[in-house]
Amino acid sequence: MDESHFVIPNTIGVHAVAAKGMRAHSIDEVRQARKIARAEKLRFVPLGEGSNILPYARVDAFVCVIDLKGIRVIAETQRHISVAVGAGVNWHLFVQYSLKRGWFGLENLSLIPGSVGAAPVQNIGAYGVEVGAYIDRLTVLDEDGICSTLTQSDCQFAYRNSVFKQSDRRTILEVEFKLLKHPEVRWGYPDLRAELTSVGVLAPSPNQVAAAVMSVRRRKLPEPAIVPNVGSFFKNPLVSVATAAVLRARHPQFKQFSTVDTVGAACVKLSAAQLIDTAGWKDKPSATVACWSKQPLVLVNLGADRLEPIMSFAEDIQRDVLDKYGVQLEVEPSLLF
Protein backbone atom coordinates (compact mmCIF):
# COMPACT_ATOMS: atom_id res chain seq x y z
CA MET A 1 0.00 0.00 0.00
CA ASP A 2 2.83 2.38 0.82
CA GLU A 3 5.63 3.08 -1.60
CA SER A 4 9.28 3.76 -0.89
CA HIS A 5 10.88 6.70 -2.66
CA PHE A 6 7.50 8.14 -3.54
CA VAL A 7 7.70 10.72 -6.34
CA ILE A 8 6.18 13.97 -5.08
CA PRO A 9 3.80 15.68 -7.54
CA ASN A 10 4.61 19.38 -7.91
CA THR A 11 3.91 22.12 -10.42
CA ILE A 12 7.29 23.84 -9.98
CA GLY A 13 8.74 21.04 -12.13
CA VAL A 14 11.54 19.73 -9.91
CA HIS A 15 12.39 16.11 -9.18
CA ALA A 16 11.60 15.23 -5.57
CA VAL A 17 10.98 12.00 -3.71
CA ALA A 18 9.70 11.24 -0.23
CA ALA A 19 11.04 8.50 2.02
CA LYS A 20 7.63 6.88 1.64
CA GLY A 21 4.24 7.85 0.30
CA MET A 22 0.98 6.86 -1.30
CA ARG A 23 -2.17 8.15 -2.94
CA ALA A 24 -5.22 7.74 -0.67
CA HIS A 25 -8.70 7.30 -2.16
CA SER A 26 -10.64 6.77 1.06
CA ILE A 27 -10.68 7.83 4.70
CA ASP A 28 -9.48 4.37 5.69
CA GLU A 29 -6.47 4.70 3.38
CA VAL A 30 -5.61 8.11 4.87
CA ARG A 31 -5.91 6.57 8.34
CA GLN A 32 -3.63 3.71 7.29
CA ALA A 33 -1.09 6.13 5.82
CA ARG A 34 -0.95 8.03 9.11
CA LYS A 35 -0.46 4.76 10.97
CA ILE A 36 2.46 3.79 8.74
CA ALA A 37 4.07 7.21 9.14
CA ARG A 38 3.80 6.99 12.92
CA ALA A 39 5.17 3.44 13.03
CA GLU A 40 8.18 4.45 10.95
CA LYS A 41 8.66 7.73 12.82
CA LEU A 42 8.17 9.78 9.66
CA ARG A 43 6.56 13.20 9.45
CA PHE A 44 3.17 12.90 7.74
CA VAL A 45 2.63 15.37 4.88
CA PRO A 46 -0.78 15.50 3.14
CA LEU A 47 -0.79 16.89 -0.40
CA GLY A 48 -3.28 17.83 -3.07
CA GLU A 49 -2.04 18.43 -6.61
CA GLY A 50 1.32 19.90 -5.57
CA SER A 51 0.50 23.38 -6.85
CA ASN A 52 1.64 25.28 -3.76
CA ILE A 53 4.70 23.39 -2.52
CA LEU A 54 8.45 23.72 -2.99
CA PRO A 55 9.97 20.28 -2.43
CA TYR A 56 13.67 19.54 -2.08
CA ALA A 57 15.12 16.51 -3.85
CA ARG A 58 14.78 14.24 -0.81
CA VAL A 59 11.92 14.80 1.63
CA ASP A 60 12.28 12.88 4.87
CA ALA A 61 8.55 12.29 5.36
CA PHE A 62 5.58 10.14 4.45
CA VAL A 63 3.78 12.07 1.69
CA CYS A 64 0.12 11.20 1.20
CA VAL A 65 -1.76 12.56 -1.81
CA ILE A 66 -5.36 13.03 -0.64
CA ASP A 67 -7.56 11.89 -3.52
CA LEU A 68 -11.01 11.74 -1.90
CA LYS A 69 -13.72 12.65 -4.42
CA GLY A 70 -17.41 13.49 -4.30
CA ILE A 71 -19.74 16.51 -4.20
CA ARG A 72 -23.04 16.37 -2.29
CA VAL A 73 -25.67 18.84 -1.15
CA ILE A 74 -26.25 18.52 2.59
CA ALA A 75 -28.57 21.45 3.41
CA GLU A 76 -30.49 24.22 1.71
CA THR A 77 -32.32 27.37 2.75
CA GLN A 78 -33.91 30.18 0.78
CA ARG A 79 -30.59 32.05 0.63
CA HIS A 80 -27.87 29.42 0.96
CA ILE A 81 -26.88 25.96 -0.10
CA SER A 82 -24.39 23.83 1.85
CA VAL A 83 -22.21 21.54 -0.24
CA ALA A 84 -19.72 18.96 1.04
CA VAL A 85 -16.77 18.39 -1.30
CA GLY A 86 -14.06 15.73 -1.13
CA ALA A 87 -10.55 17.05 -0.56
CA GLY A 88 -9.29 15.49 -3.80
CA VAL A 89 -11.72 17.29 -6.12
CA ASN A 90 -9.99 19.71 -8.48
CA TRP A 91 -10.62 23.27 -7.31
CA HIS A 92 -11.42 24.90 -10.65
CA LEU A 93 -13.72 22.04 -11.68
CA PHE A 94 -15.66 22.51 -8.45
CA VAL A 95 -16.01 26.26 -9.07
CA GLN A 96 -17.33 25.57 -12.57
CA TYR A 97 -19.64 22.84 -11.24
CA SER A 98 -21.04 25.30 -8.68
CA LEU A 99 -21.71 28.03 -11.22
CA LYS A 100 -23.55 25.63 -13.53
CA ARG A 101 -25.91 24.79 -10.68
CA GLY A 102 -26.50 28.38 -9.61
CA TRP A 103 -24.34 28.25 -6.48
CA PHE A 104 -22.45 31.50 -6.12
CA GLY A 105 -19.58 33.08 -4.22
CA LEU A 106 -16.50 31.34 -5.60
CA GLU A 107 -16.51 32.81 -9.11
CA ASN A 108 -13.61 35.20 -8.34
CA LEU A 109 -11.49 32.16 -7.47
CA SER A 110 -11.82 30.56 -10.90
CA LEU A 111 -8.81 28.86 -12.48
CA ILE A 112 -6.70 28.70 -9.30
CA PRO A 113 -4.65 25.49 -9.54
CA GLY A 114 -4.93 22.80 -6.89
CA SER A 115 -7.47 20.74 -5.00
CA VAL A 116 -10.39 21.57 -2.74
CA GLY A 117 -8.58 20.16 0.29
CA ALA A 118 -5.56 22.39 -0.28
CA ALA A 119 -7.64 25.57 -0.65
CA PRO A 120 -8.23 26.15 3.09
CA VAL A 121 -4.58 25.60 3.99
CA GLN A 122 -3.46 28.78 2.25
CA ASN A 123 -6.89 30.41 2.48
CA ILE A 124 -6.59 30.95 -1.26
CA GLY A 125 -7.74 34.31 -2.52
CA ALA A 126 -7.99 36.35 -5.69
CA TYR A 127 -9.71 39.46 -7.01
CA GLY A 128 -11.07 40.56 -3.64
CA VAL A 129 -12.36 37.17 -2.38
CA GLU A 130 -10.86 34.62 0.04
CA VAL A 131 -12.12 31.05 0.23
CA GLY A 132 -12.38 31.13 4.03
CA ALA A 133 -15.40 33.41 3.79
CA TYR A 134 -17.40 30.57 2.17
CA ILE A 135 -16.18 27.64 4.26
CA ASP A 136 -18.63 26.56 6.94
CA ARG A 137 -17.06 23.37 8.31
CA LEU A 138 -14.37 20.83 7.53
CA THR A 139 -13.99 17.14 8.27
CA VAL A 140 -10.46 16.35 9.41
CA LEU A 141 -8.49 13.34 10.57
CA ASP A 142 -6.12 13.73 13.53
CA GLU A 143 -2.87 11.95 14.38
CA ASP A 144 -4.75 9.16 16.15
CA GLY A 145 -6.97 8.43 13.16
CA ILE A 146 -10.04 10.07 14.68
CA CYS A 147 -12.36 12.14 12.47
CA SER A 148 -13.74 15.42 13.78
CA THR A 149 -15.38 18.60 12.53
CA LEU A 150 -13.86 22.06 12.57
CA THR A 151 -15.91 25.24 12.20
CA GLN A 152 -14.88 28.27 10.19
CA SER A 153 -13.64 30.03 13.34
CA ASP A 154 -11.57 26.97 14.32
CA CYS A 155 -9.63 27.35 11.08
CA GLN A 156 -8.22 30.78 12.04
CA PHE A 157 -8.33 32.02 8.48
CA ALA A 158 -6.12 35.01 7.72
CA TYR A 159 -4.31 36.40 4.69
CA ARG A 160 -2.77 33.32 3.01
CA ASN A 161 -2.85 31.53 6.33
CA SER A 162 -4.86 29.11 8.48
CA VAL A 163 -4.46 26.73 11.40
CA PHE A 164 -3.54 24.03 8.86
CA LYS A 165 -0.48 25.92 7.71
CA GLN A 166 0.69 26.35 11.29
CA SER A 167 0.37 22.67 12.22
CA ASP A 168 0.21 19.34 10.38
CA ARG A 169 -1.72 17.54 13.14
CA ARG A 170 -4.93 17.48 11.09
CA THR A 171 -5.56 16.21 7.56
CA ILE A 172 -8.44 17.73 5.61
CA LEU A 173 -10.79 15.08 4.22
CA GLU A 174 -13.85 17.09 3.18
CA VAL A 175 -14.77 20.76 2.99
CA GLU A 176 -18.29 22.06 3.52
CA PHE A 177 -19.06 25.28 1.66
CA LYS A 178 -21.96 27.62 2.38
CA LEU A 179 -22.69 29.16 -1.01
CA LEU A 180 -25.21 31.73 -2.17
CA LYS A 181 -28.33 30.95 -4.18
CA HIS A 182 -28.69 34.64 -5.09
CA PRO A 183 -25.48 36.26 -6.33
CA GLU A 184 -23.63 39.04 -4.57
CA VAL A 185 -21.22 39.97 -7.33
CA ARG A 186 -17.81 41.35 -6.38
CA TRP A 187 -16.00 42.98 -9.23
CA GLY A 188 -14.33 46.03 -7.68
CA TYR A 189 -10.79 44.67 -7.99
CA PRO A 190 -9.07 46.99 -10.53
CA ASP A 191 -7.91 44.36 -13.05
CA LEU A 192 -11.27 42.63 -12.95
CA ARG A 193 -13.25 45.83 -13.34
CA ALA A 194 -11.05 46.90 -16.23
CA GLU A 195 -11.55 43.55 -17.97
CA LEU A 196 -15.33 43.74 -17.68
CA THR A 197 -15.76 47.39 -18.59
CA SER A 198 -13.48 46.93 -21.62
CA VAL A 199 -16.16 44.72 -23.15
CA GLY A 200 -19.02 46.95 -22.04
CA VAL A 201 -20.17 44.91 -19.03
CA LEU A 202 -21.32 47.28 -16.29
CA ALA A 203 -23.55 44.95 -14.24
CA PRO A 204 -21.84 41.56 -14.48
CA SER A 205 -23.35 38.21 -13.61
CA PRO A 206 -21.32 35.63 -11.63
CA ASN A 207 -20.61 33.76 -14.86
CA GLN A 208 -19.32 36.94 -16.50
CA VAL A 209 -17.09 37.57 -13.48
CA ALA A 210 -15.73 34.02 -13.72
CA ALA A 211 -15.08 34.43 -17.45
CA ALA A 212 -13.29 37.74 -16.85
CA VAL A 213 -11.17 36.24 -14.06
CA MET A 214 -10.15 33.37 -16.34
CA SER A 215 -9.33 35.77 -19.15
CA VAL A 216 -7.12 37.91 -16.92
CA ARG A 217 -5.38 34.91 -15.38
CA ARG A 218 -4.69 33.27 -18.76
CA ARG A 219 -3.30 36.53 -20.11
CA LYS A 220 -1.10 37.33 -17.13
CA LEU A 221 -0.11 33.97 -15.66
CA PRO A 222 1.73 30.96 -17.11
CA GLU A 223 0.03 27.58 -17.28
CA PRO A 224 1.94 25.28 -14.86
CA ALA A 225 1.67 22.29 -17.19
CA ILE A 226 3.51 24.29 -19.86
CA VAL A 227 5.76 26.62 -17.84
CA PRO A 228 6.41 25.12 -14.37
CA ASN A 229 5.49 27.48 -11.51
CA VAL A 230 3.61 27.64 -8.21
CA GLY A 231 1.70 30.84 -8.89
CA SER A 232 2.51 33.69 -6.52
CA PHE A 233 5.93 32.92 -5.06
CA PHE A 234 5.77 35.67 -2.44
CA LYS A 235 3.01 37.04 -0.25
CA ASN A 236 2.02 40.68 -0.59
CA PRO A 237 3.81 42.12 2.45
CA LEU A 238 1.96 43.71 5.35
CA VAL A 239 3.75 46.67 6.93
CA SER A 240 2.96 49.05 9.76
CA VAL A 241 1.18 52.31 9.07
CA ALA A 242 4.38 54.18 10.03
CA THR A 243 6.49 52.14 7.60
CA ALA A 244 3.93 52.72 4.87
CA ALA A 245 4.12 56.48 5.44
CA VAL A 246 7.91 56.44 5.01
CA LEU A 247 7.60 54.39 1.81
CA ARG A 248 4.90 56.72 0.49
CA ALA A 249 7.20 59.71 0.95
CA ARG A 250 10.12 58.00 -0.78
CA HIS A 251 8.21 56.03 -3.41
CA PRO A 252 4.83 57.66 -4.05
CA GLN A 253 4.21 55.30 -7.00
CA PHE A 254 3.90 52.24 -4.74
CA LYS A 255 0.39 50.89 -4.32
CA GLN A 256 -0.86 50.73 -0.74
CA PHE A 257 -4.01 49.10 0.62
CA SER A 258 -5.27 49.65 4.17
CA THR A 259 -6.07 46.43 6.02
CA VAL A 260 -5.65 44.70 9.39
CA ASP A 261 -3.23 42.01 10.54
CA THR A 262 -4.03 38.70 12.24
CA VAL A 263 -4.68 40.38 15.60
CA GLY A 264 -6.85 43.12 14.12
CA ALA A 265 -4.27 45.93 14.19
CA ALA A 266 -4.28 48.47 11.37
CA CYS A 267 -1.59 47.90 8.77
CA VAL A 268 -0.92 48.41 5.07
CA LYS A 269 -0.61 45.82 2.31
CA LEU A 270 1.96 46.45 -0.42
CA SER A 271 2.20 44.92 -3.88
CA ALA A 272 5.01 42.35 -3.92
CA ALA A 273 4.85 42.32 -7.73
CA GLN A 274 5.43 46.07 -7.86
CA LEU A 275 8.36 45.89 -5.42
CA ILE A 276 9.99 43.12 -7.47
CA ASP A 277 9.33 44.89 -10.76
CA THR A 278 10.63 48.26 -9.53
CA ALA A 279 13.76 46.56 -8.23
CA GLY A 280 14.40 45.38 -11.80
CA TRP A 281 13.99 41.62 -11.41
CA LYS A 282 11.83 41.12 -14.49
CA ASP A 283 14.99 41.76 -16.50
CA LYS A 284 17.37 39.58 -14.47
CA PRO A 285 16.72 35.93 -15.35
CA SER A 286 19.21 33.27 -14.31
CA ALA A 287 20.08 30.29 -16.46
CA THR A 288 17.20 28.23 -15.05
CA VAL A 289 14.84 30.63 -13.22
CA ALA A 290 13.10 33.90 -14.08
CA CYS A 291 10.27 36.20 -13.11
CA TRP A 292 7.35 35.79 -15.48
CA SER A 293 7.41 38.72 -17.89
CA LYS A 294 3.73 39.58 -17.35
CA GLN A 295 3.69 39.01 -13.57
CA PRO A 296 6.98 39.26 -11.66
CA LEU A 297 5.40 37.77 -8.54
CA VAL A 298 5.48 34.42 -10.36
CA LEU A 299 8.84 32.66 -10.61
CA VAL A 300 9.06 30.19 -13.49
CA ASN A 301 11.31 27.18 -13.79
CA LEU A 302 13.25 27.31 -17.06
CA GLY A 303 15.11 24.04 -16.58
CA ALA A 304 16.09 23.47 -12.97
CA ASP A 305 15.65 19.82 -11.91
CA ARG A 306 16.27 20.64 -8.24
CA LEU A 307 14.84 23.31 -5.94
CA GLU A 308 18.13 24.92 -4.90
CA PRO A 309 18.62 27.29 -7.87
CA ILE A 310 15.00 28.43 -7.61
CA MET A 311 15.37 29.20 -3.90
CA SER A 312 18.71 30.94 -4.52
CA PHE A 313 17.04 33.20 -7.09
CA ALA A 314 14.18 33.91 -4.68
CA GLU A 315 16.60 34.74 -1.88
CA ASP A 316 18.45 37.20 -4.13
CA ILE A 317 15.13 38.96 -4.77
CA GLN A 318 14.34 39.03 -1.05
CA ARG A 319 17.72 40.55 -0.18
CA ASP A 320 17.50 43.16 -2.92
CA VAL A 321 13.97 44.28 -2.02
CA LEU A 322 14.93 44.46 1.65
CA ASP A 323 18.07 46.50 0.86
CA LYS A 324 16.25 48.91 -1.43
CA TYR A 325 12.93 49.36 0.33
CA GLY A 326 13.28 47.92 3.82
CA VAL A 327 10.49 45.42 3.13
CA GLN A 328 10.83 41.69 3.80
CA LEU A 329 9.18 39.43 1.24
CA GLU A 330 7.87 36.13 2.59
CA VAL A 331 7.70 32.98 0.46
CA GLU A 332 4.07 31.90 0.04
CA PRO A 333 4.27 28.19 -0.94
CA SER A 334 5.20 25.58 1.68
CA LEU A 335 8.74 24.24 1.69
CA LEU A 336 9.12 20.47 1.89
CA PHE A 337 12.44 19.03 3.05
CATH classification of the domain holding 110: 3.30.465.10
Q: 3-class SS at 24?
A: strand
- H runs (alpha helix) in 179-230: 190-197, 206-220
Contact (Cβ atoms closer than 8 angstroms) between residue 47 and residue 5:
no
Domain that holds residue 288: 229-336
Q: Which of 49, 107, 195, 332 is catalytic?
A: 332
Q: How would residue 2 be classed by pLDDT, with cut points 50, 70 and 90?
A: very low
- Render pLDDT for 92-131 as a digit per residue (tens, 0 to 9): 999 999 999 999 999 999 999 999 999 999 999 999 999 9
Residues 142 and 175 in one domain: yes
User: Is 232 labeled as catalytic in the residue annotation?
Assistant: yes
- H runs (alpha helix) in the chain: 27-39, 91-100, 119-122, 163-166, 190-197, 206-220, 241-250, 272-278, 308-325
Give strand pairing partners of 141: 147, 171
Q: Which of 137, 160, 170, 217 is catalytic?
A: 160
Domain boundary pick from 66, 87, 102: 66
Residue 3: per-residue pLDDT? 63
Residues 243 and 264 in one domain: yes
Q: Is residue 51 part of a domain?
A: yes
The amino acid that residue 162 corresponds to is S
Residues 314 and 283 in one domain: yes
User: Is 23 labeled as catalytic in the residue annotation?
Assistant: no
Kindly report the pTM of this predicted structure: 0.92
User: Is 312 labeled as catalytic in the residue annotation?
Assistant: no
- Render pLDDT for 234-293 as a digit per residue (tens, 0 to 9): 999 999 999 999 999 999 999 999 999 878 899 999 999 999 999 999 999 999 999 999
Residues 107 and 43 in one domain: no
Domain boundary pick from 180, 197, 213: 180
Number of domains present in the structure of the chain: 3
Residues 49 and 95 in one domain: no
Residues 267 and 233 in one domain: yes
Among 16, 22, 92, 85, residue whose Cα is nearest residue 56: 16
Residues 151 and 108 in one domain: yes
Residues 58 and 127 in one domain: no
